[in-house]
Amino acid sequence: MVRQCIIYSLTKSSIMPRKFRFTNLILIAAAMCFSGNTMAGEASVKYDAAVSEQSGRVTGTVEDEFGSVVGASLLVKGTTNGTITDTDGHFALDGVKNGDVIQISFIGYVSQEIVYSGQAALTVKLREDSQALDEVVVTALGIKREKKALGYAMQEVKGEKLTETRDANVANSLAGKVAGVQIRQNGTGVGGSTKILIRGNNSISGNNQPLIVVDGVPIDNFSSSTADMWGSSLVDKGSGISDISPDDIESMSVLKGPAAAALYGSRAGNGVVMITTKKSSGNKGVGISYNTNLTFDSPMQTPEFQNVYGQGTSGNFDNDARASWGPKMDSSTKEMALGNLPYAARDNNIYKDFMRTGSSWTNSLDVSKSTEDITFRAAITRLDNKAVLPNSGMDRTSVTLRSTAKLAKWLSTDIKVNYVNQNAKNRIALAQDPNNVFYENLLMPRSIGYSDFLAFEGSDWKRPDGSPAGYVKTVNGTPRNPYWSAYRNGNSDKRDRYISLAALDFTFTDWLNLKLRTGMDNYTFIYDHTRATGNPYWETGGSFRVQTERFKEINSDFLFTAQGNWGDFGIVGTAGGNIMYRSSTSNNDFSGELVIPDFYSISNGKAHDASFWKSRKQINSIYATASLSWANYLYLDLTARNDWSSTLPKENSSYFYPSVGGSWVFSQMLNQMGKELGALTFGKLRVSWAQVGNDTEPYQLLNYYTTNYDTKGGVFNVSSKDWIANPELKSETIQSWELGLELKGFDNRVGLDVSYYKKNAFDQILKISVPAATGYRYKMVNAGNIQNQGWEIALNANPVKTSSGFSWETILNWSQNKNKIIELTADTKKQILSDGTGISILQIVAEEGGAFGDLYGYAYERDAKNNIVIGDDGKPVRASDMKLLGNNQPEWMLGWSNDFSYKNFSLSFLVDLNYGGDVYMGSIQTGTGQGNLALTLPGREEGIIVPGVKADGTPNDVKISAQEYWGSLSGITESFMYDATSIRFRELSLGYSFPRKLLAKTPFTGLKASLIARNLFMIYSKTEGFDPEAGFSNGSSVQGYEIASMPTMRSLGVNLSVSF
């Protein structure tokens, strides 16, 4: 048996295989270490007739039955002298002496050993090893395991899949790539946050997103959860995971079920996204790689507006109307609020006449150096984004330093520091915020051109009286001027973040080692918001607000690992502990209305107001695992963890949760029995069960009050929160079990992974509504039972692989999750999740017997035959009570990725589909109500007879105007409920890797150029040009409600990777 670990500094950009394989990407692009047992086989070698000197150079090629093998490693046994085959399978190895043994290996092939006896050239023929399936993956706590031994499902995405068609938020790059994972990007543009959901919603009122772990250390994945349809001057400040540069990522692994994530404690009940970052390549000398990625952004799709009718109401022109129900536009000059202008459709396309082509330019540089005992990597990534809205954008700089060292045979270290600095300017306002230009565009009459506002640029977009130069005479609460929103009202934010770790590995014996590790996530976030002097709402004299948030989390842990083998029996045991300490503060300073106009300073306020919040939390944990194996085909995993949380009462602060999992590699067993398996090369059954606990946020046990002091007015205020604390809270519990089947066949060219899971979340920590007579709105309780069950199927295949070098690899991920609210409380059978959001036409509900995210709203009144009832005025009648109209979760999801390669060319694309689910399209309701969307054109001249029956059952024959019709629908939720099904062309890349022979006289060792696209186009949707997934918040209380979202951006550009 031969066990080798060979690391080379070549990257994906440096070589492109003639025969493109997923394993090539693992070895070359990710610069990973080949780890695992391989079987040494007899060499199939042809010797050249020429004989070299006793110590000399050996050249040759490595091939398989289809041609050259790219990335095969050759090593002189017992030395560090080695090389790797190039894009044509060629190699050259110097310093070989007579009697040296040359080892040739490649993942998935039988390793070979050749005794050097003076051969000058070799042609090595490798044969595939159907038993070499011991893929090593990183699992919880950074423990490396053979994937075949796992009793639960996990999927891995390699780093190169994240960098080429990259997104500013790396979480978005997971869309369609992992079965059972739902990615929902907010409609807030580049730098916006993303909701990650694994196997459904577990918590009614808590966080449903997974834990993010980087190199074994949890980090804070803060995210926009603003749940206010009025916006309230809040913005989406992005997700914590977006601070991780894709260029630093070796791989992302998704641990889907509690059994996989149990060792990460309380926060892992919703699954774990594990990010493993790069180390030095390990190749002696200096390795340098550079990547530049430039994309241009424009809307992927846009709704259709009408350009026939202009400003006015009831068919008459009115320069104070916020609607397009006026007469037909005839280009005549009319006295408009912005001047005497043509009554015509001029420059009224926000996507062309106000927005601009955005751009994102990312540059990354990676420098690594290694000696025999020390490795060092330094990387810097810079993102510069010019947003599609004027006077807005962001930049992000990430610097990473990492070093490993072998200080002694028994001691090694790993130290990493990652610093991230991000600056954003004028993030988009949300929902129906008066400052949201996309909401204003739905209201603005079609006879108003964006160029009409430019006459007021010299006066800072103001009228002589200081009010905004709006498109109506009376601005009445909103600026009615997009340039006022872009240049007068503004916001900016800055984030400085440090993510670091330090680890010591002690190897006491060949069977016992200890890892000590500490990691820290520390950031400061400063946000300011300016409301301009002359603003027509809230502080008309202007105001200024500054918010400062500070966060620090430290995780310190130890882990003993012991292992042993006795014949066919093997065991690996671990025991460890963790201390997690988290502290956060928030400081909010508000000027109140300004004293001196247009001087934006806290000290210039008439009523200086300040607030301060501090939160602390600690969890102490111990855990242990035992992994048993028999004859390399039976595996049993046991884990146990106990947490003590500072946020629970003393008597309930301790909670224990175990897991058990097993796998049976029946193909290995049958092979050992001498059975023929035909086309089947690998088969495995797995099963697991787990229980995971979950605590709560700080300060939920006792009622408390907040104080506020007006430093200028001298007023001291004391207020209570709107919920009743519960001093007897206990931990939540999530129980799950999972069954799985894995198959590989036809020499591993086809693979299938099927999972069925069921999980129940008990004793949830909920805020349940209480009667108003209590003086509160909610109370904290432990209650509820939410169930999620579903199927996941991952199918991968290599349908075409020819000797000429053409290859096609395809991966299909399909998943379906069914949610059910089995129980709430004895007193509460229905909880309105959207309560307090300001949404009145729709309720997002959790109700016993229903599903999480059920959507209730007002339907049409219908008769016994399901005919819509029409009133005497000719308008549809709204039912008096709300009813169930749909659910905001998709029925199933599918992602289909394909990779083609031919010699030095590569082509890849990804299509993803969300089928089913429902969404209320507030943008369509607003745009039709104002007469601006093309949907409102029918019936403008001749009127509309709404299909339906009168109260007496006779057909409706009352004609009403289009304005009356669309106005009558605004209060009927059902009118604007849409099927949320969408199919989108998510990613496309066409690349060419330059052959090494062309680079021979250049300083480059690798060069690849690619044309790339992201969100290329919407293949199918029913939402009239608006994106059904583009919400304004990640909060569970507003999912399924869309209003005035920014269009999803299409990104087209180029990517260039260079290595030296």
pLDDT in tens, 440-490: 999 999 999 999 999 999 999 999 999 999 999 988 888 999 999 999 999
Instruction: Tell the residue number behind the tokens 């996530």, with chain if given.
Output: 521
Task: Provide the β-strand partners of residue 793.
Answer: 754, 814
Q: Using the 8-state DSSP alphabet, how is residue 120 labeled? A: S
* pLDDT of 66: 60
* pLDDT of 135: 73
pLDDT band at 809 (very low <50, low <70, confident <90, very high): very high
Q: Using the 8-state DSSP alphabet, how is residue 995 labeled? A: P
Q: Using the 8-state DSSP alphabet, how is residue 210 labeled? A: P
For the stretch 408-440, pLDDT in tens is: 999 999 999 999 999 999 999 988 999 999 999
Within 600-679, residue ranges assigned H as helices are 666-672
Q: Cα(1005)–Cα(997) distance, rounded to whole angstroms?
A: 10
Phi and psi dihedrals of 353, rounded to 5? -100, -10
The count of C-alpha atoms lying within 13 angstroms of the C-alpha of 488, restricted to the half-sphere facing its C-beta, is: 33
Q: Using the 8-state DSSP alphabet, how is residue 482 labeled? A: H
Assess contact for 712 and 607: CB atoms under 8 A. yes
Phi and psi dihedrals of 852, rounded to 5? -60, 130
Single-letter amino acid, residue 617: K
pLDDT band at 275 (very low <50, low <70, confident <90, very high): very high
491 Rama class: left (phi>0) / alpha (psi -120 to 50) / beta: beta
* pLDDT of 774: 86
For the stretch 907-931, pLDDT in tens is: 999 999 999 999 999 999 999 999 9
pLDDT at 605 over 70: yes
Q: Cα(1027)–Cα(1050) distance, rounded to whole angstroms?
A: 12
Q: Cα(908)–Cα(811) distance, rounded to whole angstroms?
A: 11
| Bridging pattern class, strands 723-724 and 778-801 | parallel
Q: Cα(655)–Cα(643) distance, rounded to whole angstroms?
A: 6
Please tell me which residue, 578 or 33, carries the higher pLDDT value. Answer: 578
Strand order across the beta sheet in which 1041-1042 lies: 977-979, 918-921, 1041-1042
For the stretch 647-671, pLDDT in tens is: 999 999 999 989 999 999 999 999 9
Q: Using the 8-state DSSP alphabet, how is residue 999 labeled? A: H
Assess contact for 594 and 533: CB atoms under 8 A. yes
Label residue 128 exposed, middle or buried (CB < 10 Å: 0-12, 13-18, 19+): middle
pLDDT band at 615 (very low <50, low <70, confident <90, very high): very high
> Which residues, in sequence order, are CB contacts of 607 under 8 Å at separation 6+?
591, 592, 593, 710, 712, 713
For the stretch 199-210, pLDDT in tens is: 998 888 778 889
Distances (CA, A) of 685 to 135, 229, 680, 749: 16, 48, 14, 19
Assess contact for 355 and 477: CB atoms under 8 A. no
Assess contact for 1051 and 985: CB atoms under 8 A. no
Angle between helices 962-969 and 922-929 (to 10 degrees): 150
Distances (CA, A) of 170 to 157, 211, 966, 984: 12, 15, 41, 18
Q: Cα(1042)–Cα(1048) distance, rounded to whole angstroms?
A: 13
User: Tokens representing 997?
Assistant: 């022979």
Superfamily of domain 22-128: Carboxypeptidase-like, regulatory domain (2.60.40.1120)
Rounded to 10 degrees, the C-alpha dihedral 483/488/491/494 comes to 100
How many other C-beta atoms are found inside a 10 Å radius of the C-beta of residue 133?
20
pLDDT band at 46 (very low <50, low <70, confident <90, very high): very low
Task: Provide the β-strand partners of residue 743.
Answer: 683, 752
1040 Rama class: left (phi>0) / alpha (psi -120 to 50) / beta: left
Phi and psi dihedrals of 132, rounded to 5? -85, 70
Instruction: Tell the residue number behind the tokens 């009408």, with chain if given.
Output: 306
User: Tokens representing 178?
Assistant: 């992992």
pLDDT at 18 over 50: no
Residue (of 32, 140, 90, 87) closest to 623 by Cα position: 140
Assess contact for 843 and 973: CB atoms under 8 A. no
Q: Cα(790)–Cα(816) distance, rounded to whole angstroms?
A: 5
Average pLDDT, the chain: 88
Q: Cα(704)–Cα(698) distance, rounded to whole angstroms?
A: 12
Assess contact for 135 and 158: CB atoms under 8 A. no
* pLDDT of 191: 86
For the stretch 139-159, pLDDT in tens is: 777 777 788 888 888 888 998
Element (H, E) at 664: strand 654-664
Average pLDDT over residues 636-654: 94
Residue (of 207, 200, 337, 329) closest to 256 by Cα position: 200
pLDDT band at 134 (very low <50, low <70, confident <90, very high): low
Q: Cα(369)–Cα(381) distance, rounded to whole angstroms?
A: 18
* pLDDT of 610: 85
pLDDT at 48 over 70: no
Distance of CA 1006 to the CA centre of its chain: 30
pLDDT at 20 over 50: no
Q: Cα(339)–Cα(544) distance, rounded to whole angstroms?
A: 32
Distance of CA 983 to the CA centre of its chain: 18
Instruction: Tell the residue number behind the tokens 């300016």, with chain if given.
Output: 530
pLDDT band at 116 (very low <50, low <70, confident <90, very high): confident
How many other C-beta atoms are found inside a 10 Å radius of the C-beta of residue 656?
12
How many other C-beta atoms are found inside a 10 Å radius of the C-beta of residue 961?
18
pLDDT band at 27 (very low <50, low <70, confident <90, very high): very low
For the stretch 685-709, pLDDT in tens is: 999 999 988 888 899 999 888 877 7
Which DSSP string corresponds to 217-233?
A: EEE---------TT-TT
Q: Cα(422)–Cα(950) distance, rounded to whole angstroms?
A: 60
How many other C-beta atoms are found inside a 10 Å radius of the C-beta of residue 432?
21
Domain borders along the chain are 22-128, 508-619, 865-877+919-978
End-to-end CA distance of the chain: 35
User: Tokens representing 444?
Assistant: 């603005």
How many other C-beta atoms are found inside a 10 Å radius of the C-beta of residue 23?
17
pTM to 2 decimal places = 0.87
* pLDDT of 386: 97
* pLDDT of 153: 84
HEC readout, 813-848: EEEEEEEEEEECCCCCCEEECCCCCCCCCEEEEEEC
Assess contact for 40 and 2: CB atoms under 8 A. yes
What is the torsional sign of CA 148, 150, 151, 154? negative
| Bridging pattern class, strands 111-115 and 40-41 | parallel
* pLDDT of 139: 78
pLDDT band at 355 (very low <50, low <70, confident <90, very high): very high
User: Tokens representing 183?
Assistant: 């990615």
Element (H, E) at 924: helix 922-929
In the chain, % of residues over pLDDT 70? 92
Q: Helices (H) and strands (E) in the chain — how many of each?
A: 9, 55
How many other C-beta atoms are found inside a 10 Å radius of the C-beta of residue 467?
18
pLDDT at 318 over 70: yes
